[in-house]
């Protein structure tokens, strides 16, 4: 995501939404969070509320990807 000209806190909050490095099944889980973050970045101005929204969205993404990874591991170990 392009954060050129954005406030440093906004740019920092956007970090962590990349998903290309993940296995395909985890990319499917992570991609919608990336897309929503990009949409918010396009639509909203820099503001502490945007930073908070992006940070919380990233936290939600981390939880979902972790669950998907754990579920895959559990299925593989059966």
Q: Which residue ranges make up each domain of the chain?
A: 8-76
Non-local (6+) Cβ contacts of 33 within 8 A are 17, 57, 58, 60, 61, 64
Contacts of 60 (CB under 8 A, 6+ apart): 33
Residue with tokens 């992570």: 30
CA 5 to chain centroid, in Å, comes to 20
**Between 63 and 78, residue with greater pLDDT:** 63
Per-residue pLDDT tens over the stretch 27-61: 999 999 999 999 999 999 999 999 999 999 999 99
Task: State the average pLDDT for the chain.
Answer: 94
Q: What is the pTM (predicted TM-score) of this model? A: 0.89
């Amino acid at each position: 995501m392009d954060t050129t000209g954005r406030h440093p806190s906004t740019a920092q909050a956007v970090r962590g939404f990349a998903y290309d490095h993940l296995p395909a099944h985890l990319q499917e889980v992570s991609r919608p969070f990336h897309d929503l973050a990009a949409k918010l970045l396009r639509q909203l101005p820099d503001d502490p509320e945007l930073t908070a929204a992006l940070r919380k969205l990233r936290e939600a993404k981390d939880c979902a990807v972790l669950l998907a990874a754990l579920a895959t591991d559990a299925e593989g170990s059966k």
